[in-house]
Amino acid sequence: MSRPREFDVDRVLHQSMEVFWNQGFKATSYEDLTRTTGVKKQSLYCVFKDKRSLFLKALAIYREQVIAKLKEIEALDSSPVDKLNTLRYSLLDDETSCQGCLIVNASLEFGTDDEQVTREAELMAEEIQLVLEKIISSGQKQQLISNRYTSIELASYLNNTILGVRVMEKSGSSREQIETVLRTSFGMIMS
């Protein structure tokens, strides 16, 4: 008869995500994970199989959290311009901004060498793109957002801006530099 699990899997997953986010996958040891979570290595192995499986689950959880926040902004009862401004301000007010984006960081660490990491990055980009397209399309119909380009093109442009800002954050750019990039990029699509 197996012993009951003695730790909260979600809590451990979130704690592990923070370790990977701060250190990257390759620089994170099992000792780092066990020290942070307070869970023994064997117990982690029983639930998550190995460090890579734990990392992939952390990437998926992170992606889900980011998309949930973006969908909350999309669901606001406000104009498309206000929604985009809320998104822009949320990018500036993110308390984890010096860490960048976990998925962007992983993409930079792995390049295209790991199909599953690449797939998580692609899923995140696709999901962000779809939400941005909806907001932009609505703004274009109301003539609040430029019709010079399609909603798909503008969403791609803003998505790229967001990714670039996350790299800027991780590489130590100042808040003022990041704010300038965001203000300019978001401002360029307004009518």
pLDDT in tens, 113-129: 999 999 999 999 999 99
Cα distance between residue 147 and residue 143, in whole Å? 8
| pLDDT score for 1 | 42
| pLDDT score for 44 | 87
CA-CA distances (angstroms) from residue 98 to 71, 130, 154?
23, 26, 26
Tokens of 130: 């779809």
| pLDDT score for 93 | 80
Collect the ranges in the chain with pLDDT lower than 50.
1-4
Cα distance between residue 68 and residue 53, in whole Å? 23
Cα distance between residue 75 and residue 21, in whole Å? 28
Cα distance between residue 112 and residue 2, in whole Å? 39
pLDDT in tens, 40-52: 988 888 889 899 9
For residue 21, which of 107, 92, 101 has the smallest C-alpha distance?
A: 101
Q: Which residues of 6-42 are buried (b: 16+ CB within 10 A; e: fewer)?
A: eeeeeebbebbbbbbbbebbeebeeebbbeebebeee
| pLDDT score for 7 | 83
